Each structure stands twice: as structure tokens, then as C-alpha cells.
Structure 1
Amino acid sequence: MNEVRKKIIIQELHYWKHSRMLPEQYCDYLLAMYSEGEDTQQQDGKSAGITARMMIPYLSVAIIILLTLFLNYFTQLPYRMQISLSIISILTLLWASFFFSKRFYHYHIPLIGAAFLFLLATVQAVEHFVPGQTIILYLCLLCHSGMWIYTGKRLSIASFSAAGFLGAGVIIYFIVKLYNIF
């Protein structure tokens, strides 16, 4: 095959791999085939640096979640400050999820963190404003389960849908048990 054609094909394969038009395994196989094994060593050196650089956004998401949990549950901040901190963290994680989806990162991680913090903030708010009203808490948790099911269906995230259905099932069980329906 002509060398110019090989270089064009290899450039296209790199583009397809970067834009995820083909699965990475296929691109690696085709790159190895067209470059006759020479290009794979060059790419391996580059991928080690990319992996370390890609960990920084995930680490920042973990720090946001852990910092929010620490400040809300292990310090005695005023209630308004705790809720404000939770809202800011949730919005930051939703923004990070949008940012990750544009950069081909796994946007599920900040989205799961935002859903988790939103759930905790809701439980905390219900316990603060209407203490002892378990039915209101259960209804809020059912709303969360519905949002998770909707998000899972809308974004094709099976873990969100599964968590929503399981959460709704558990909450309905406790509502039935609380009011002796059956």
C-alpha cells in the first residue's frame, strides 16, 4: 500500500479513536495493522500521561463530595449555611457533569454525586422543617426515586434507573408497613 495512503488512514484512525467514533479496541487493532506495530509504542507513551491528567477532574469531584459531607455532618455550621453549601455543591457537580460530557469523560460520576448530595440535603431539610413526619419524608424520597428513574431513562444510565426502582420499592414497602395496608 502507498505510504501516503497509510499515513492518511492512520491519521483518520487517530481521529476516530479520539472522537470515539469507533471503540478503542478496534482503533488500536487497526492502528497496529496499518502501522505494522510501529505506532502503538508511540501511543502507549502518550496514553500514560493522559491517564494521570484525566484523574484530576475525578479527584476534584471526590473532593467536592467529601468536603460537603464533612462540613455538613461533622461540623456545627448554621443550618442555612449547610443548605447553601449543599446547593452550591450540587450545582457545581451538575456543571461538572455537563463539562465531562463535552470532554468525553465519564459524566456519570459527578451526576451520581449530585444525586447523592441532593438526596441527603432533602432528608436534612425535611427533618429540619417537619420533624417526625415520616410520610412527608417518604413522599420526598419517592419523588427522588422518580427523578432517578426519569434521569436513568433519559440519559440511558441503567444504574440510575435501577436505583430509582429499588428505592421506590423499598419506600413503598415501608409506607405499606407503616399504615398496615395489607
Structure 2
Amino acid sequence: MEQKRKEIIINEIKYWKQTRLLPEQYCDFLLALYTEGNRDDIEQPTRQVPTWAVRVTVAMIGICLPLALLVIYFTELSFVLQTLILSLFVIICFIAVRFFVQNKMLTHMALIVGALSLLLLSIRVSDFYFSGSTNALAVAVMFNCFVWLLIGWRFSLMYFFISGVVGIILLISSFFI
């Protein structure tokens, strides 16, 4: 049988299995038959993540950014405590990204909140150590723009890539205008 024809049949059987048009055992048998026992190209079933774990993770991420803003702008906490709390928020967001990527789930919210928390953290640290220095602030923002470019390239997210490019262009143009 032609290879192209086999691929069409295999894709159709996979579709039947996914939509449950045929029982799973029948689909597995047909796939084994048409792939001649070579089951490397057949995707293994992914493990299901409990819905409570997803909800808790999304709730934690959704709370991180408002709490970060609250900690920075509306409390009289020391710089060290503010930095530790913001660092914790960034770590939580990027652990959540890793969790979502491993389970092939939506990562956008965790990436956005993590990137904004990192921006807040770097601006706060720059402002504390180099008070009033626009060059240090520009370096911190440039660092964040490069992180956004990296995230956009790594996860193929155009909005992160565009944000990084636009941020760099605006930052460079602000020094020359």
C-alpha cells in the first residue's frame, strides 16, 4: 500500500479514536495493523491533571499581580521584604508556566503575570539601588524587553515578541528624542 494512503488511513483512525467513533481497542488494533507494529508515531495518552490543581494554580497566578501592585505601592514594607515577595510571585508564575507546559495547557496568563511581576521587581530594585538614575532604569527595562523577546521566541507567542521589539524601539527612541 502506498505510504501516503497509509498516512491518510492512520490519521483517520486517530480521528475516530479521538472522537470515540470506534471503541479504543478497535482503534488500537487498526493502528497496529496499519503501522505494522511500529507504534512510535502514535501519541501516548497524556495524564489528566485534576481540575482542582488547575483552579488553584490559576487562582494563585490571578492573585499574584494585584498583590504585587499592593505590596509595592500601598504598603510601608521594607525594601527587602518587598523584593522577597515580588521574587516569590515571579517564581510562582514561572513554576506555573512549567506546570502548564508539561501538561500541554494554556500558559498565557502565567507568562503575562510573571513577566509583569518581573518588570515591577526589576524597576523596584533599579529604583532602590540607583535612585534617580535613568540609565539604570533603562537597563532594567531593556533587560525585560529582551526577556519578552526570548519568551516570544521560545513559546512562539507573537504578542511577547512584538512587546519586546516595541519596548526596545521606544526605549532607544526616548534617548534620542
TM over 0.5: yes
Report the alpha carbon displacement of residue 169 of structure 1 after superposing the two structures with TM. Answer: 0.9
Question: Shift of residue 112 of structure 1?
Answer: 1.3
Tell me which amino acid in the other structure corresponds to 1:118.
Answer: L
Unaligned 5+ runs, structure 2: 1-20, 29-49
- Which stretches of structure 1, 4 residues or longer, exceed 4 Å deviation after superposition? 9-12, 50-56
Equivalent position amino acid for 1:170 in 2: L
Q: How far apart in 2 are the matches of 1:155 and 1:73?
A: 31
Identity among equivalent positions (%) equals 21
TM-score (norm 2): 0.68
Shift of 1:56: 4.2
Given that residues 135 and 175 in structure 1 are in contact (C-alpha distance below 8 angstroms), is that contact kept between their aligned partners in structure 2?
Answer: no
TM-score (normalizing by structure 1): 0.66
Residue 7 (structure 1) aligned with residue 23 (structure 2): yes
Q: Which runs of 5+ in 1 are unaligned?
A: 13-49, 178-182
CA 1:7–1:81 in 2, change beyond 3 Å: closer, same or farther?
same
Residue of structure 2 in register with 1:168 after alignment: 168
Alignment partners' CA distance in 1, 2:88 and 2:69: 13
Q: Report the alpha carbon displacement of residue 11 of structure 1 after superposing the two structures with TM.
A: 7.5
Structure 1 distance, partners of 2:78, 2:26, is 59
Change (3 A) 1:10 1:62: farther
d(CA) in 2 for partners of 1:140, 1:53: 34
Query: Which residues in structure 2 correspond to 1:122-137 (within 5 Å)?
Result: 122-137=122-137
Distance 1:145 1:9, change over 3 A: same
Closer, same or farther: CA 60–9 of 1 in aligned 2, 3 Å: same
Deviations 1:102-154 (A, max 9, x none): 22321121111111011111111111111111122112211211121122112
Shift, 1:10, TM fit? 9.0
Q: Where do 1:15-26 residues align within 5 Å?
A: none
In proportion to residue count, which structure has more helix? 1
Is the CA contact (8 Å cut-off) linking 1:138 and 1:175 kept in structure 2?
no
Pair 1:59-2:59 in alignment: yes
Matched, 1:94 2:110: no
After superposition, the Cα gap between the structure-2 partners of 1:108 and 1:74, relative to the gap in structure 1 and judged at 3 Å, is same
Contact persistence 1:68–1:89 (CA under 8 A) = yes
For 2:136, give the aligned amino acid.
Answer: I
Q: 1:154 to 1:51 in 2, by over 3 A?
A: same
Tell me how far apart the structure 1 counterparts of residues 148 and 26 of structure 2 sit (CA, whole Å). Answer: 42
Q: Provide the rounded CA distance (Å) in 1 between the counterparts of 2:78 and 2:101.
A: 35
Corresponding residue of 1:44: none
Hey, what's the Cα distance between the residues in 2 that align with 1:53 and 1:122? 30
Higher relative contact order (CA 8 A, sep 6+): 2
How many correspondences in the alignment?
136
Shift of 1:7: 1.9
Provide the residue aligned with 1:140 in structure 2.
140
